[in-house]
Amino acid sequence: MDVIKKQFKIVFDPQTEKALDKKDGWYAIAYFLYLMIFIYLLGLFMFKTSYINDLSRHFDNKYLFKNMLYFPIALLQILPVFLILYLRKQPVWTMGLTLRRLIPSIVIGIIACLPLNLTKLFNYIDHSNGFHLKGSEAFYNLVYFLVFIAFVEELIFRGFIQARVLRLVSNKYLAILIVAVMFSVMHIPFQMIKAQMGLIEFIAYDWPHLLITGLMHIYFVYIYTRTNNLVAPSIAHGLNDFIQTSIY
């Protein structure tokens, strides 16, 4: 019984907890507000102007274009995080960027994506489902989800924000729930503009997906705290998104 409890226990890196204080929590909140504004403006730029469509016409491979497009977007999302670390004189391992337990983290990440995709994988093996990407398209799409979606979101929410909100909220489970809501809310501005809906209309329409997104934060926090290395949740997150969008 103790072994089972230990496996399901969420324990954050003690060194990281010692390195942070309440001020870091407020920095995380301020950064989240920046992120929300950035994502809203990004949605307006992508869906309310023709610049992206005009630019995409110069590329034969839309997946390569997507990677090139999201490279500067990812930088604008994560550079403020590293600026805060620099100003606070904190090492990158305080947000899970470390080589410690790298191999176990890779293995855990691969295994952790399987429960999320059992039906699709079984149907694919059984030839009920197909894989609609081939060659370079599959490669670029995998890079997109692993690097520009999964790694960026894991760095921001599981690595940076979660550890720092813990300095403001002493109950770690409540802190996890709060950041789960933040993670879910973060997706609203971009998707709301894409769907051409108002805020209330979009929430009423998309609340099941928003709920699942919040639950995914809790799952990825659990995966992260197995090794306190961002590699594990980044791989699980990236492979999950890739499988969900590539197998039909």
pLDDT tens digits along 173-187: 999 999 999 999 999
Helical axes 62-88 vs 136-143, angle rounded to 10°: 20
With 60 as the cut, is the pLDDT of residue 4 above it? no
State both tokens at 242: 């890739």
Mean pLDDT of 70-79: 98
Question: Could you read off the pLDDT of 202-229 as tens digits, one per residue?
Answer: 999 999 999 999 999 999 999 999 999 9
All residues at 6 or more sequence positions from 207 whose CB lies less than 8 Å from its CB, including other chains: none
Q: Enumerate long-range contacts of 34-41, CB under 8 Å, 24 or more apart.
A: 34/80, 35/77, 35/156, 35/186, 36/185, 36/186, 36/189, 38/76, 38/77, 39/186, 39/189, 39/190, 40/189, 40/190, 40/193
Q: Is 184 exposed, middle or buried (0-12, 13-18, 19+ CB in 10 A)?
A: buried
